[in-house]
Structures are given as structure tokens and as C-alpha cells.
Amino acid sequence: MVGWYIVSRDHDARARRSEIRELLKITRELLTKTEKDAFNYWTSAGKPDESRILAFDIKQNLNRLSHAANVLNRHSENFRVLDVMKQYRQAVTGGSFEGASRAALNRGDERLMDIAATAVEFDGRLELGFEAIYCSRGLRAIFRLTP
């Protein structure tokens, strides 16, 4: 009975870890996509219809990214990603985003550097969160097995 409980519990823990890893993968993909789209958007004034479609895509993917960040944060407070999510959304869609008179930015513009820096910070927090939960548990598991 006890053995069954331990096996079941460990199986659930491994399944949960896999789910979180998968969610992290999706989150990172959204982060990469929005960063690339944001760079394209801000460096081209573009045709109005094309700009509008790209802006819509960016906001929709930020919405998905934010949802993922909230799920991770609810799973564990070690995923400290809500503040950086806010900063990332501000960097990508603040200022004159969707402004009628928006002009294309130069590649060295501060906004673009801000987007890139915040994306790196976001990615780092995702990895740190995962390591804080699962790597420490792994070490604890190893310690218990040591006679």
C-alpha cells in the first residue's frame, strides 16, 4: 500500500514536470515569435493593413504569453515572471504602438533594445524557475537515497 502510494506519487511528479517543461517550451516559442514580430513591426511603418494585421498578431500572442506566465506563476512562486511579463508588454506595445502617425524606428533605437533585453530577462526567469523547483528536488531525492 505504501509502496503503491510512493510509486503513484513519483509518477504524478514526473508527469507534472513534463507538463511544465512543455509549457515552458510553448512560452519560449511565444516569446521568440513576439520579439521577432515586434522588431519587424517597429522597424517598418508598413502599409496600414499589413501593420494592423501584425499589431493584432502581436497582441494576440502577448495575450497567450501572459496566460502561460500566469499559469506558471500559479504553479509555483519560483516562476517570478509576472513583473517581467508586464515590462515586456510595455516594451513591445507601449508608446505609439498602433499610432496612426507611427514612424519606423532605426535598428539601434532604445525601444528595440528594451524589447530584446526584456525578452532575455523573461527567458532567464523561466529557466531559473524550473531549476529552483526541479533541480533542488532532484538533489533532495539523491540525498535521501544515500545510506
Partner 1 sequence: MKTQKTINLALQFSRFPGGRFNTDGEFNGEKFREKFLKPALDENKSIVVELDGTAGYGSSFLEEAFGGLVRELHMDPADLERRMTLVSNDKSLISEIWEYIKAAK
Provide the binding-site residues for partner 1, judged by CB under 8 A: 52, 55-56, 58-63, 66-67, 69-70, 73, 82-83, 85-86, 89-90, 92-101
CB of 42 to partner 1, least distance (A): 12
Measure the N-to-C terminal CA separation of the chain; round to a whole number of Å: 24
| C-beta of 32 vs 63, nearer to partner 1 | 63
CB of 141 to partner 1, least distance (A): 32
Q: At what angle do helices 82-93 and 2-42 cross, to 10 degrees?
A: 20
| C-beta of 30 vs 133, nearer to partner 1 | 30
Cβ count within 10 A of residue 36: 11
* DSSP code, position 105: P
**How far is Cα 13 from Cα 140, in angstroms, rounded to an integer?**
14
CB of 8 to partner 1, least distance (A): 31
| C-beta of 24 vs 89, nearer to partner 1 | 89
Alpha helices in 43-108 (DSSP H): 48-75, 82-93
CB of 52 to partner 1, least distance (A): 8
